[in-house]
Amino acid sequence: MPVRSANPIRARSLIRDNLEKQAGCLNLIHSRMPNIKVFSGTSHPDLAQRIVDRLGIDLGKVVTKKFSNLETCVEIGESVRGEDVYIVQSGSGEINDNLMELLIMINACKIASASRVTAVIPCFPYARQDKKDKLAGGEDKEENKLAKKNYDWKFRVNAQSRAPISAKLVANMLSVAGADHIITMDLHASQIQGFFDIPVDNLYAEPAVLKWIKENIPEWKNSIIVSPDAGGAKRVTSIADRLNVEFALIHKERKKANEVASMVLVGDVKDKIAILVDDMADTCGTIVHAADRLVEAGATKVYAILTHGIFSGPAISRINNACFEAVVVTNTIPQDGHMRDCPKIQCIDVSMMFAEAVRRTHNGESVSYLFSNVPY
């Protein structure tokens, strides 16, 4: 409504006050999340939507398509000049296509004059290829036959020297594409952060896991936290300390990838609720064998809590036939299809942790709060 006053000076003053109030309201809205754009790749649009809903903004417009020869094409549908850009793309599904799509999206935003491009990668691809300890095939057929017949130390040493460190390669590709910052969760090996020359925020699912245990396992005080391999000992000891319960670990020996030869339980699980904790499960051979070993040792119930539920190959059928009370995963990877096929699988939503990490990064705040707390 127009401001009416007999005094023209008073009228001008009222108009100026109204305009200042309106400008103040607009500045308040924009001061919350100014100059920020969040885009989603095709790997996990549901998680990206949850993140922007939490932030109170809209998902950026982007069109991804493939040419007839299966080349990936990405078109950013809005201006990103001078904006703080976040691209959400998880290492799941068609991993190679999704990784290439992420690289193209990063580069597209960078050459469109975005001020900063952050890759939000909930599940980092190729994280298991972080060092030279994989058994590779020989360069000729005779050497390959020798490996299959006789897994001797000499061949193993020779094969190690030719194994790639693919996680380092992925880090280089992200940096060269133009990424200025990486946000991820529960890297398979913490040293992957050192593969980058740009900042990396490695979030932890531990706070959300602790919250789930306390809310969903009534007898959690009589539980024992178990690592299915020696590499996860640090992870389970941290959770056990926070819950003030005991921990155990299982030492496994592999003959070849995805096949476990033997398991040795270190710790007493008799008459206790065993909670297996690991960063990821692929074919689930390890955790299923571990669950059987725990039941043999006298555990009353067995739960499995995993950050990244990949569940490839026979994983779902193995879980259905195993003795788990529940297999709990986070939604760093889409789980809707897995949950339909397997009623034992339950999902913890970690979108609020990524949303809070984005908000704090954008506003220049510390993200260390998220290492031990779940934002509400």
* Domain boundaries defined on the chain: 32-129+167-203, 206-348
H helices of the chain, where? 8-32, 45-55, 95-111, 141-149, 153-160, 166-177, 206-216, 233-243, 285-296, 315-321, 336-341, 351-362
CATH entry 3.40.50.2020 includes domain 32-129+167-203: yes
Residue 113 to residue 79: CA distance in whole angstroms:
9
Is there a shared CATH topology between the 32-129+167-203 domain and the 206-348 domain?
Answer: yes
Helix (H/G/I), strand (E/B), else coil: 361: helix
Per-residue pLDDT of the chain (376 residues; tens, 9 = 90+): 444 445 555 555 655 565 555 445 434 434 456 799 999 999 999 999 999 999 999 999 999 999 999 999 999 999 999 999 999 999 988 999 999 999 999 999 999 999 999 999 999 999 999 988 755 443 343 334 434 444 444 445 455 568 899 999 999 999 999 999 999 999 998 899 999 999 999 999 999 999 999 999 999 999 999 999 888 889 999 999 999 999 999 987 655 555 656 778 888 999 999 999 999 999 999 899 999 999 999 999 999 999 999 999 999 999 999 999 999 999 999 999 999 999 999 999 999 999 999 999 999 999 999 998 888 7
**Pick from 79, 95, 90, 96: nearest CA to 48:** 90
pTM: 0.83
- Say if residues 306 and 280 touch (Cβ distance below 8 Å): yes
* Answer CATH for 206-348 from 3.30.70.420, 3.40.50.1370, 3.40.50.2020, 3.40.30.10: 3.40.50.2020
Q: Which amino acid is at 37?
A: K
